[in-house]
C-alpha cells in the first residue's frame, strides 16, 4: 500500500507505515491551511506588528566572506566522457503538485522547470504565486523551481519542489561556475524529466527568451548556434537518446539522429528522448507569447 | 592513428607522470591495488591520470576504491575525447583486453603491464598491441607463479625482475567508538563464497560483541544469511574501507579461483588475522591462518578473548584519505547533513559542531529547508530536498540522494560526512562508503521514544557514532537506549555557550522590550503534528489576565508562519532564539532537544508543553524529567486547566528564581566542542604522518 500523496516510480512500491503517511498528510493540509490564512491576513484588518528578528552574533559581511571562501573549495566538474564516476538512477521522480493543485493527485502531467535565478524576497514570492495560479488554472504541469535563493519559504508555502544552486558554487558568471551549473542542470533534467523550462529569473540571469530548452544551462544570452554547433551541443549535453530516437522513429534510420531531429524531427513533433516532450515545450512556448519556432 | 614521439617527451611536457589504464569499474582486489598505487604515487608527488578501458563485463560506475582517490584529487580521469601525455602507461588487467585497445587518449613513453592473474598465450597479443603504440613494454607479474607462467606461455616478452609490490603507507587507524569486533568476508563471484548456507553461517562466531560485515554479491543459495549481518554490494563500499573496519577476514570459497591477494596483504600488514582455506596456501604463502571452515569460528572466538586483538594496529593499509597531492592551502572540507526534522534540532546541533571546528571547512548539504539560517552563521549551504518534502517514496529517492551527495563529496574532496538524523539510509551509506577516503559520522539523538529508526542496522557502516547527551537520559526507553555501547556519548550539544547569550539588558534593547515589564516567550515548535495556534491562543488569553506582560511568539523558520492575529503580541523570527533568552522572565516551550537543553542551560524558567506525536523524540519524557527534578514545569495538553495556576506561579519572581537556581546548579556543560574535535579527528585520521 502506498500512502496518500505518494508516487512510486519503480516497479516495487514500498509501503509507508500508515501513521507516518497520516502525519505527512496532516502536515500538508495544515501548512496549506495556514498559508491560506496568511494570504488572507491583509484583508482581515488584524493588527500586524513588525516582527522581531533574532540574529547570530556573526557579522553578515564576515558570514558572506566565509561562505564565498567555502564555495571556492568546491570544484564540480562536468561529467567526463567515458568516466562513469557517479551512477545516477535511470528513472525520474515526480514532484509534488503543490498545495493549490492537490486534486491533480497521481495524475500524469509534465514536469516543468521554472528558473528563478536572481530572484529573492517579494519578486520571488510574486513569481511563485503566479506559477501557482497558472497551475491551478491549467492543471497540466507540476513545477520544480530552480533557485539560487537561500530563502526557500516561497516554495515551502506553496508546497512546491525546488532545487538549489548556491551562488558560491554555481555562479554567477565565471567559467567553472557555469560548467558546474550546466552539469547540475543536466543531472536535474534526468532526475525530474523536465518537459520544458520556463525562465523567469532576473534579467541579468535570463537568456534571450523566457522559454529555453532545459539544456541552455548557464542562463547567459547567446546567439543561435549554427547547425554543426547545435549538433555538438546537443550531443555533449547527454540529453539526446540516439538509440531510443532511432528505434522510435523509423524514418530516421540511416541518418544522424541528432541532425535528423534538428532538421526535420523537431518540426514533426518528435522527441529527442523519452524524457523531453517537444510538443509540450512548443505549446508552452506559444502560450507565453513566443512565435512558433521553426 | 596517433604518432607518438617516444623519445622526445621531456618531463615538463607531461600531463601526468603515470597513466593507469584498465577497466576501472571492476570492483574488488584489483581496484584496491589501483587505489593503493594511486595513493603511493600521489604521496610521492606524482601526477596520476586514469583511463577507463571498458570491457565486456564493465560495471555501471567506477569502482569505489578508485573513485575515492579521484574524489580526493589524487588522480584525474582522462576522458575519451581528450589527449594526455604521460611518462608511463600502466595497464592493469591485460586479460580483459580482447582486441587492440582504443588508446588515442593516452600518449606515453613506455608501458608497464600489471599481471595479477595468469593469462596464458593471450599475453603475446596484448604485448604486441601495446608495443605497437608505446614501444617499450614491460610485464610486471604480481607473484612468482604468474611470472613463471608468463615466461613459459609468452616467450620473448620483457618481464620485470621483481614482482609488483603492494604499496602500503603508514598512518593512524581511524577512530571508532564503542566498537564491536568486526569480522568480514568478501566475494565478487559465486565461487568466492562458501558452498552452502550451513557452512556460511557456521563460519562466524556468534555473540553481541561481534558483528559480521560482508562485501560483494551473494549467490542465490546464500541469500538467507542472518538478518543482523550487514551486506553491501561492491558498488556501495570501497574494499579498502571495509578492510579498515574489519578485525578479521575469512576466506572460504567453494571455488579455487585467484585469492584476493591485495586484500589479504592489506589485512596482514595491518596486523589483523586472515583465516583462509588451506587449499590456498600454495598460492598465498605464509601469513594467514590456514584452517578448515568448521574451525574458523572457534579460532576467532579464542582470538577475540585476547586483549591484544582489540588493540589498534600501528600500521594499516594506505587506503585512507590523505596524500601530498591532495593537500591544499584550505582546510579539508567536511560535509554536514542535517536531516529534515520537524523543527531545527538537527540543524542546530550541526551548526553547534561546525562553528567549533578549527581545522576543517564545514560545508552543509541540508535536507532541512534552512540554507538561509545556515548561511546566516557563515557556512556554505546546499539544499538537497528530502523524500518527505517531495512526497516521493523513500526507496525511489535514496539513489538520487546518493548521486547528489557523491557529487558534492567529489566536488569538495570531502574528508567526512557528518549526518544528524534518525535514518542513515542506504543513499547516505553508499555515497560515503563508495568514497573510500571519506569518513561517516552519525550524530544520533537519544530519547527516540516510540519513533521508529528504520536504518539502525546501518550503524556498522559509520566510522563514528556520537550521541549528544540527554539530561533526561534515565527516562530514555527508546530504541537506541539499549545500543549506547555503539556510541560515544558526550555532554548535550548546544549551539551557544552561556557566555554567548546576550545579557538581559542588551537582549531587551535589541528586541525592544521595556526593562520593567514581565516578558514571556512562547515557542511551541514548528507547528507540525499538533495545533500550536490553538495552544498559543489559550496561553496568550491566560497571560493577558495579568497586567504588564509583554508576549513574544517565536515563529519557526521552517514551520508555519505565526499569524499576526493577537493585538499587542509580537512575533520573533530568525535564528537563534537562545541568544535572546535572557530577555525573558519565563517561557512556554516545546521540549525538543535544542529548546529543552538550551532553555535549561540558560536557566530560563520554562513551562514545557511537549509535543507527544509518535514520530517525534520523547518530548514528554524530557518534560516530566524536568518537572520531577524541579527544573521546570510540565503542562500536559490534556491538563490545560493547570495553565492559569502555572502562569500565576511564574508571575512571581521567587518561583522563577527557584527554577533559575535549580538550573544553575545543574551546570549543564556543552559537548559541542568535544564533538567538533572528534569530527576533525575522524576527518583527518588518514593524514600522512
Domain boundaries, chain B: 11-153, 181-310, 333-493+674-682, 501-666
Q: Which residue has the cell 512526497?
A: B391
Q: Residue A182 belongs to what domain range?
A: 90-220
Whether A208 is in a domain gets the answer: yes
Chain B positions touching A163 (Cβ under 8 A) are 383, 385
Q: Do domains B11-153 and B333-493+674-682 have the same CATH topology?
A: yes
Contact B62 A84 (CB under 8 A): yes
d(CA A38, CA B650): 32
User: Per the structure block, which three cell numbers stand in for B430?
Assistant: 553508499
d(CA A178, CA A171): 6
The dotted CATH code for B181-310 is 3.40.50.2000
The architecture (CATH level 2) of B501-666 comes to 3-Layer(aba) Sandwich (3.40)
At A1 the three-state DSSP class reads coil
Whether B423 has its CB under 8 Å from any CB of chain A: the answer is no
* CB of A226 closer than 8 Å to CB of A214: no
The dotted CATH code for B11-153 is 3.40.50
Whether A172 is in a domain gets the answer: yes
Rounded to the nearest angstrom, the minimum Cα separation between A62 and chain B is 7
Chain A positions touching B555 (Cβ under 8 A) are 51
Whether A265 has its CB under 8 Å from any CB of chain B: the answer is no
d(CA B229, CA B205): 12
Contact B372 A82 (CB under 8 A): no
* CB of B319 closer than 8 Å to CB of B65: yes
* CB of B98 closer than 8 Å to CB of B64: no
* CB of B186 closer than 8 Å to CB of B474: no
Q: What is the DSSP letter of A49?
A: P
d(CA B194, CA B44): 40
* pLDDT (0 to 100) of residue B341: 74
Contact A70 B362 (CB under 8 A): yes
Whether B80 has its CB under 8 Å from any CB of chain A: the answer is yes
Instruction: Write out pLDDT tens, residues A226-275.
Output: 677 677 777 766 678 888 888 888 888 888 888 888 888 888 888 888 76
A172 and A195 share one domain: yes
Backbone phi, psi, residue A203, to 5°: -50, -40
* CB of B220 closer than 8 Å to CB of B189: no
Chain B positions touching A152 (Cβ under 8 A) are 369, 371-372, 383
Domain end, chosen from A201, A220, A239, is at A220
Tell me which H or E stretch contains B549. Answer: strand B549-554
Backbone phi, psi, residue A61, to 5°: -65, -40
d(CA A119, CA A126): 10
For B434, the closest chain A residue by CA position comes to A86
* CB of B72 closer than 8 Å to CB of B413: yes
d(CA B496, CA B576): 9
Q: What is the DSSP letter of B159?
A: B
Long-range contacts of residues A208-213, Cβ cutoff 8 Å, at least 24 apart? A209/A290, A210/A288, A210/A290, A211/A281, A211/A284, A211/A285, A211/A288, A211/A290, A212/A115, A213/A281
How sure is the predictor about A102, in pLDDT bands with cuts at 50, 70 and 90?
Answer: confident
State whether the Cα torsion B394-B399-B403-B406 is positive or negative: positive
How remote is the C-alpha of B476 from its chain's centroid?
A: 26
A194-199/A211-212 β-pairing: antiparallel
* CB of B211 closer than 8 Å to CB of B521: no
d(CA B414, CA B349): 20
A146 and A206 share one domain: yes
Whether B391 has its CB under 8 Å from any CB of chain A: the answer is yes
d(CA B21, CA B30): 12
A208 and A244 share one domain: no
A190 and A272 share one domain: no
Contact A83 B580 (CB under 8 A): no
d(CA B485, CA B418): 19
CA angle B242, B248, B253 (to 5 degrees): 85
Q: Which has the closest alpha carbon to B465: B173, B174, B176?
A: B176
For B559, the closest chain A residue by CA position comes to A31
d(CA A274, CA A277): 7
Q: Give A114-171 as a DSSP string.
A: EE-TT--HHHHHHHHHHHHHHHHHH---EEEEEE--S--HHHHHHT-EEEE--HHHH-
Whether A69 is in a domain gets the answer: no
Chain A positions touching B413 (Cβ under 8 A) are 73, 75
Domain end, chosen from A205, A220, A235, is at A220
Q: What is the pTM of this model?
A: 0.83
At B478 the three-state DSSP class reads coil
Residue B503's alpha-carbon distances to B352, B506, B508, B602, B607, in angstroms, are 20, 5, 8, 11, 22
Instruction: Write out pLDDT tens, residues B140-191.
Output: 999 888 999 999 999 989 999 988 888 875 444 454 545 678 899 999 999 9
Q: Give B388-457 as a DSSP string.
A: HHHTB-HHHHHHHHHHHHHHHHHHHT-SEEEEESS---HHHHHHHHTSTT-EEEEE--S--TT---TTGG
d(CA B130, CA B100): 8
Instruction: Write out pLDDT tens, residues B571-603.
Output: 898 899 999 999 999 999 999 999 999 999 999
Backbone phi, psi, residue B539, to 5°: -65, -45
* pLDDT (0 to 100) of residue A12: 37
d(CA B135, CA B110): 6
For B508, the closest chain A residue by CA position comes to A52
CATH 3.40.462.10 fits B333-493+674-682, yes or no: no
**ipTM of the predicted structure?**
0.88
Q: Give B512-531 as a DSSP string.
A: T--TTSEEEEEE--SS-SS-
Chain A positions touching B575 (Cβ under 8 A) are 54-56
Q: Give the helix ranges, DSSP H, for B591-687.
A: 593-601, 619-628, 643-650, 653-666, 672-683
d(CA B297, CA B318): 29
Burial A50-67 (b: 16+ CB within 10 A, else e): ebbebebeeeeeebeebb
Chain A positions touching B451 (Cβ under 8 A) are none
A151 and A211 share one domain: yes
Whether A232 is in a domain gets the answer: yes
Contacts (Cβ under 8 Å, ≥6 apart) of A102: A5, A28, A32
Which of A152, A167, A186 to mutate: most B Cβ within 10 Å? A152
* CB of B635 closer than 8 Å to CB of B604: no
* pLDDT (0 to 100) of residue A264: 84
d(CA B359, CA B682): 12
Residues in chain A: 294
Whether A35 has its CB under 8 Å from any CB of chain B: the answer is yes
Q: Residue A89 class from Cβ within 10 Å (0-12 exposed, 13-18 middle, 19+ buried)?
A: middle
Chain B positions touching A81 (Cβ under 8 A) are 79-81
Q: How many domains does chain A have?
A: 2
Chain B positions touching A47 (Cβ under 8 A) are 564, 567-568
* pLDDT (0 to 100) of residue B294: 92
A169 and A249 share one domain: no
d(CA B538, CA B518): 18
How sure is the predictor about A208, in pLDDT bands with cuts at 50, 70 and 90?
Answer: very low
For A71, the closest chain B residue by CA position comes to B380
* pLDDT (0 to 100) of residue B6: 46
A124 and A239 share one domain: no
Chain B positions touching A13 (Cβ under 8 A) are 393
Number of cross-chain residue pairs from A and B with Cβ atoms under 8 Å apart: 250
Q: Which A residues 150-209 touch B at CB under 8 Å?
A: 150-153, 156-157, 161-164, 166, 168-169, 180, 187, 191
Chain A positions touching B384 (Cβ under 8 A) are 164
Whether B290 has its CB under 8 Å from any CB of chain A: the answer is no
Q: Which has the closest alpha carbon to A7: B573, B397, B630?
A: B397
Q: Please give the radius of gyration of chain B, using alpha carbons only, rounded to the nearest integer.
A: 30
Which of B359, B407, B569 to mutate: most A Cβ within 10 Å? B407
Residue B192's alpha-carbon distances to B93, B254, B319, in angstroms, are 19, 6, 23
Contacts (Cβ under 8 Å, ≥6 apart) of A44: B565
Instruction: Give me the residues of chain B with pLDDT under 50, please.
Output: 1-11, 170-173, 175, 177, 311-327, 687-689
Amino acid at each position: 500500500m502506498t500512502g496518500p500523496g505518494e508516487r512510486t516510480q519503480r516497479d516495487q512500491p514500498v509501503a509507508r507505515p500508515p501513521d507516518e503517511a497520516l502525519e505527512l498528510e496532516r502536515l500538508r493540509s495544515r501548512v496549506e491551511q495556514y498559508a491560506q490564512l496568511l494570504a488572507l491576513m491583509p484583508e482581515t484588518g488584524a493588527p500586524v506588528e513588525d516582527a522581531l528578528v533574532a540574529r547570530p552574533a556573526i557579522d553578515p559581511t564576515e558570514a558572506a566572506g566565509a561562505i564565498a571562501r567555502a564555495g571556492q573549495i568546491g570544484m564540480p566538474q562536468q561529467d567526463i566522457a567515458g568516466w562513469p564516476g557517479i551512477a545516477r538512477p535511470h528513472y525520474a521522480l515526480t514532484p509534488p503538485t503543490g498545495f493549490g493543485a492537490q486534486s491533480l493527485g497521481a495524475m500524469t502531467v509534465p514536469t516543468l522547470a521554472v528558473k528563478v535565478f536572481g530572484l529573492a524576497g517579494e519578486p520571488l514570492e510574486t513569481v511563485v504565486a503566479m506559477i501557482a495560479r497558472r497551475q491551478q488554472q491549467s492543471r497540466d504541469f507540476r513545477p520544480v523551481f530552480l533557485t539560487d535563493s537561500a530563502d526557500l519559504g516561497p516554495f515551502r508555502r506553496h508546497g512546491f519542489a525546488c532545487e538549489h544552486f548556491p551562488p558560491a558554487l554555481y555562479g554567477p558568471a565565471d567559467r567553472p561556475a557555469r560548467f558546474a551549473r550546466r552539469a547540475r542542470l543536466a543531472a536535474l533534467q534526468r532526475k525530474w524529466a523536465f518537459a520544458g523550462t520556463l525562465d523567469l529569473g532576473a534579467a541579468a540571469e535570463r537568456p534571450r527568451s523566457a522559454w529555453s530548452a532545459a539544456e541552455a544551462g548557464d542562463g547567459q544570452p547567446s546567439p543561435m548556434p549554427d547547425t554543426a554547433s547545435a549538433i555538438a551541443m546537443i550531443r555533449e549535453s547527454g540529453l539526446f537518446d540516439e538509440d531510443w530516437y532511432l528505434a522510435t522513429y523509423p524514418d530516421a534510420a540511416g541518418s544522424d539522429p541528432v541532425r535528423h531531429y534538428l532538421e526535420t524531427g523537431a518540426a514533426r513533433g518528435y522527441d529527442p528522448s523519452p524524457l523531453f516532450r517537444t510538443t509540450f515545450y512548443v505549446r508552452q512556448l506559444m502560450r507565453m507569447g513566443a512565435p512558433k519556432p521553426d | 592513428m596517433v604518432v607518438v614521439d617516444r623519445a622526445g617527451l621531456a618531463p615538463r611536457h607531461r600531463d601526468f607522470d603515470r597513466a593507469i589504464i584498465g577497466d576501472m569499474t571492476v570492483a574488488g582486489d584489483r581496484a584496491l591495488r589501483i587505489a593503493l598505487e594511486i595513493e603511493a604515487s600521489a604521496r610521492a608527488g606524482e601526477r596520476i591520470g586514469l583511463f577507463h578501458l571498458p570491457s565486456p563485463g564493465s560495471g555501471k560506475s567506477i569502482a569505489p576504491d578508485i573513485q575515492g582517490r579521484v574524489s580526493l584529487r589524487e588522480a584525474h580521469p582522462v576522458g575519451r575525447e581528450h589527449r594526455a601525455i604521460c611518462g608511463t602507461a600502466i595497464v592493469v588487467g591485460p586479460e580483459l583486453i580482447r582486441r587492440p585497445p582504443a588508446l588515442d587518449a593516452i600518449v606515453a613513453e613506455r608501458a608497464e603491464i600489471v599481471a595479477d592473474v595468469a593469462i596464458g598465450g593471450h599475453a603475446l597479443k596484448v604485448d604486441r598491441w601495446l608495443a605497437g603504440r608505446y614501444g617499450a613494454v614491460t610485464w610486471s607479474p604480481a607473484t612468482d607463479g604468474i611470472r613463471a607462467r608468463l615466461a613459459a606461455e609468452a616467450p620473448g616478452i620483457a618481464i620485470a625482475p621483481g614482482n609488483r609490490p603492494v604499496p602500503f603507507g603508514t598512518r593512524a587507524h581511524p577512530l571508532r567508538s564503542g566498537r564491536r569486533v568486526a569480522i568480514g568476508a568478501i566475494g565478487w563471484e559465486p565461487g568466492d563464497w562458501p558452498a552452502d548456507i550451513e557452512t556460511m553461517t557456521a563460519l562466524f562466531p556468534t555473540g553481541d560483541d561481534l558483528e559480521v560485515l560482508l562485501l560483494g554479491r551473494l549467490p542465490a543459495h546464500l541469500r538467507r544469511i542472518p538478518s543482523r549481518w550487514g551486506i553491501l554490494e561492491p558498488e556501495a563500499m570501497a574494499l579498502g574501507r571495509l578492510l579498515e573496519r574489519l578485525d578479521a577476514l575469512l576466506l572460504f570459497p567453494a571455488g579455487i579461483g585467484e585469492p584476493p591477494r591485495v586484500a589479504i596483504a592489506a589485512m596482514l600488514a595491518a596486523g589483523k588475522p586472515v583465516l583462509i582455506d588451506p587449499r590456498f596456501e600454495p598460492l598465498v604463502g605464509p601469513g594467514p591462518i590456514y584452517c578448515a571452515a568448521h574451525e574458523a569460528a572457534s579460532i576467532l572466538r579464542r582470538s577475540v578473548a585476547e586483549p591484544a586483538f582489540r588493540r589498534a594496529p600501528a600500521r594499516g593499509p594506505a587506503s585512507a584519505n590523505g596524500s601530498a597531492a591532495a593537500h591544499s592551502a584550505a582546510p579539508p572540507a567536511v560535509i554536514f547533513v542535517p536531516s529534515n526534522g520537524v523543527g531545527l534540532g538537527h540543524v542546530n546541533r550541526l551548526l553547534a559542531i561546525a562553528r567549533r571546528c578549527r581545522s576543517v571547512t564545514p560545508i552543509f548539504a541540508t535536507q532541512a529547508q534552512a540554507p538561509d539560517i545556515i548561511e546566516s552563521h557563515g557556512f556554505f549551504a546546499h539544499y538537497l530536498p528530502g523524500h518527505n518534502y517531495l512526497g516521493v517514496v523513500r526507496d525511489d529517492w535514496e539513489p538520487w540522494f546518493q548521486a547528489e551527495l557523491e557529487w558534492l563529496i567529489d566536488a569538495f574532496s570531502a574528508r567526512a560526512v557528518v549526518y544528524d538524523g534518525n535514518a542513515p539510509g542506504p543513499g547516505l551509506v553508499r555515497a560515503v562508503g563508495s568514497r573510500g577516503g571519506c569518513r561517516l559520522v552519525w550524530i544520533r539523538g537519544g530519547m527516540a521514544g516510540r519513533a521508529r529508526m528504520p536504518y539502525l542496522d546501518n550503524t556498522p557502516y559509520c566510522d563514528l557514532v556520537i550521541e549528544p547527551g540527554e539530561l533526561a537520559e534515565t527516562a530514555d526507553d527508546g530504541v537506541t537506549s539499549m545500543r549506547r555501547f555503539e556510541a560515544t556519548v558526550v555532554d548535550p550539544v548546544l549551539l551557544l555557550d552561556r557566555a554567548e547569550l546576550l545579557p538581559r539588558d542588551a537582549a531587551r534593547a535589541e528586541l525592544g522590550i521595556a526593562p520593567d515589564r514581565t516578558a514571556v516567550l512562547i515557542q511551541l515548535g514548528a507547528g507540525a503534528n499538533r495545533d500550536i495556534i490553538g495552544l498559543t491562543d489559550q496561553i496568550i488569553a491566560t497571560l493577558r489576565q495579568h497586567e504588564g506582560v509583554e508576549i513574544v511568539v517565536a515563529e519557526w523558520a521552517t514551520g508555519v508562519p505565526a499569524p499576526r492575529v493577537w493585538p499587542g503580541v509580537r512575533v520573533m523570527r530568525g535564528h537563534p532564539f537562545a541568544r535572546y533568552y535572557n530577555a525573558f522572565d519565563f517561557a512556554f516551550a516545546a521540549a525538543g532537544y535544542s529548546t529543552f537543553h538550551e532553555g535549561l542551560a540558560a536557566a530560563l524558567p520554562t513551562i514545557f508543553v511537549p509535543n507527544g506525536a509518535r514520530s517525534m523524540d520523547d518530548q514528554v519524557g524530557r518534560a516530566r524529567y524536568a518537572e520531577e527534578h524541579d527544573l521546570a514545569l510540565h503542562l500536559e495538553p490534556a491538563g490545560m486547566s493547570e495553565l492559569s495556576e502555572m502562569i500565576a506561579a511564574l508571575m512571581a519572581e521567587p518561583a522563577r528564581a527557584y527554577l533559575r537556581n535549580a538550573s544553575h546548579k545543574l551546570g549543564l556543560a556543552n559537548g559541542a566542542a568535544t564533538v567538533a574535535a572528534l569530527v576533525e579527528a575522524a576527518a583527518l585520521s588518514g593524514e600522512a604522518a
